[in-house]
Amino acid sequence: MNVSGIMDEYGWNGTRRNHRTGRKEGGKVCLLMAAIGFALLMFSPWANADQVTMANGDVITGEILALKEGKLTIKTPYNESLELAWGSIAKIHSEAPVEVVLSDGTRLKGTLQVSEEGVLQVTTETAGAVSVGDMASITDINPPVVPPVTYEGNVEAGASYLTGNTDTTSANLSGLFVARSKRQRFTLRGRWYYAENDNEVSAREAGGSAKYDFFATEKLYLYANTLFDYNPFKDLDLRSTFGGGLGYQFWEDARKKLGFELGISYVDENFRIAPDNSYAGGRWSLDFDFKVIPDKIAFFHYQEGYFSLEDFGDMNLRTEQGLRFTVLKDFYTTFQANVTYDNMPSPGFKTTDTALIFGLGYNFNL
């Protein structure tokens, strides 16, 4: 083997020589590879990636997906999504436009960056760079698209049967339906309860209500409502109400809801034994729902009360409270206590009825 010929052909560094030009072809190969690498870098989807700088100095690149409930989700080049606490982020920079929701409800769409003065800005197509202050002023990024009208609610049912020394049967059914737009809300509630003991009816109760809300502002609204109650075991053949008033929605998000209402109503009560009664009265209600552990455990409390403006001692109140435990996706079990109170019942009847209910339910959201 002619070693010297090989060394002369390729050179000491293993690069083949071009005998006509005297230059190394390896140099051209290196330049070509560098050009290809630069082109791949320029056209890579992560070449101009979004950047998030943490308070400890770490820099994370990827694609900003959303900010929800204090958690920023960013998709990294490794096809993994990370959730970062919004309060632990020092700077943020986005190459692609994102939709930003500020604490005052303002919505902006553009790219995010921090100016040389350290001010967070949203660069929009129409208004240019808009300063939004600090990071805390942003509450949502790329919020989900909300349809003009949403429909949600639940259906709950329970039953029991006992036989032997005594024969007892009971069943209950209740439901809630809410249609909601930005300025309007329509709510339907209904319930039914029945029980037999040794083939004799021991409990029978039914009721329902309808309410319409018009939001004058984001939280303040006007309402009109009607209610019907039937409970012959409290001498109540029918209680019907019609009225309206003001309401205030303190919270209304995916995890918690709290609303309070105060107004006036006309109340008409028909009894089986006692004399019928009707009066102009006041009304209040409180509706609270809180997900203690999201998608697992939820606590709820609802109360609605009426009192006579002619005799403040004439008052009736109904409350429903309990826990819901998610079983599978939208299906849940519920354990609740329903309490009805009438401080001036018909003669011979008690003021308070309490029902402990265990049942199955289904949540729907259309």
Per-residue pLDDT tens for 47-84? 468 999 999 999 999 999 999 888 999 998 877 889 99
Q: What number is the average pLDDT over the span 20-45? A: 53
Predicted local confidence at residue 4, as pLDDT: 46
User: Residue 32: pLDDT above 70?
Assistant: no
- Higher-confidence residue of 34 and 251: namely 251
Give pLDDT, residue 267: 97
| Residue 169 backbone phi and psi in degrees, to 5 | -135, 140
DSSP class of residue 314 equals: -
Q: What is the pLDDT of residues 88-105, one digit of tens each?
A: 998 899 998 999 999 888
pLDDT at 1 over 50: no
Q: Choose from 81-85, 136-140, 314-318 the range with maximum mean pLDDT.
A: 314-318
Which residue in the block uniquely carries the two structure tokens 């998608």?
Answer: 295
pLDDT at 31: 64
**Is there a contact between 132 and 138 (Cβ–Cβ < 8 Å)?**
yes
> What is the rounded (10 degree) CA torsion for 295, 329, 160, 298?
10
Pairing of strands 200-215, 184-197: antiparallel
> What is residue 36's predicted lDDT score, i.e. its pLDDT?
56
pLDDT at 276: 95
Q: Distance (Å, rounded) from C-alpha 224 to C-alpha 244?
A: 4
Instruction: Please report the domains of the chain, with CATH numbers, ordered by start residue.
Output: 3-43 (no CATH), 50-141 (no CATH), 150-365 (2.40.230.20)
Q: How far apart are alpha carbons 86 and 35 in whole angstroms?
A: 39
Residue of 272, 269, 349 whose CA lies nearest to 306: 269
Indicate if the pLDDT at residue 23 is higher than 80.
no
pLDDT tops 60 at residue 41: no
Nearest to 51 by CA among 42, 36, 66, 62: 62
Q: Which has more pLDDT, 144 or 141?
A: 141
pLDDT tens by residue, 272-313? 999 999 999 999 999 999 999 989 999 999 999 999 999 988
For residue 264, the model assigns a pLDDT of: 98
Averaged pLDDT, 264-269: 97
Of 120 and 235, more confident: 235
Between 19 and 345, where is the model more confident? 345
pLDDT of residue 5 exceeding 60, the answer is no
pLDDT of residue 48: 63
Would the CA dihedral through 243, 248, 250, 252 be positive or negative?
Answer: positive
Question: What percent of the chain has pLDDT above 70?
Answer: 87
Hey, what amino acid is at 287? D
pTM for the full model? 0.69
pLDDT at 103: 85
